Amino acid sequence: MRANQKARTRQAIVRAAGALLKRGSKPSLDEIAEEAMVSRATAYRYFPGLDALLSEAAVDLMVPEATDLFDAQAPSDPFDRIALVDDTFDKACRAQEVPLRLMLARMLERSIGRAADEPPLRQNRRVPLLEQALAPFEPRLGWTRTTRLAQALAMVVGTEGFLALNDVVGLGENEAREVRRWAIDALVAAALSEAYSPG
């Protein structure tokens, strides 16, 4: 429960920074804390400094809420829904690549010697979107397998998949998308096969 509260507080700070950025100015930490209705000390506990917070807020602005992404016009086919999530994160990573890399560099620095009870280092954006994308599969997979599949897909969709295929493998945009889609299809096929296997 305490971990959930910390995650909500962190999200509130990021969203407050994003709201102020959308108004066209670079806010101070005091302004962000006031917007988020937390103390300056609380904001500092969650972020090492203003630049780290603003970098994450810039990325966060590119990722919609699940209810906005999966509105009435969203596809009903689960594979198309997962592809929609993948496209959303791919566009966000490419559009905000510099802030994203700065954010990750600061997060990696903070992760050294981090205590277990400290506030979360990153906001979990992708799993709620993936769970919503997989909702049509839940009657076949069950809640446990659907949740596990969303967690597995989170290794492919989003920042880590983007950076691995870009920096490590050296793929271009279209090739990287094809490889991610192949991995997505393989994970979904494995989950469905497990669900229907006898015994």
Give the DSSP per-residue string, 71-94. STTS-SSHHHHHHHHHHHHHHHHH
pLDDT in the model for residue 199: 53
Indicate if the pLDDT at residue 41 is higher than 80: yes
pLDDT in the model for residue 176: 94
Averaged confidence pLDDT in the chain: 86
Average pLDDT for residues 119-148, to the nearest whole number?
87
The answer to whether the pTM exceeds 0.75 is yes
pLDDT in the model for residue 119: 64
Element (H, E) at 50: helix 50-60
pLDDT band (50, 70, 90) for residue 149: very high
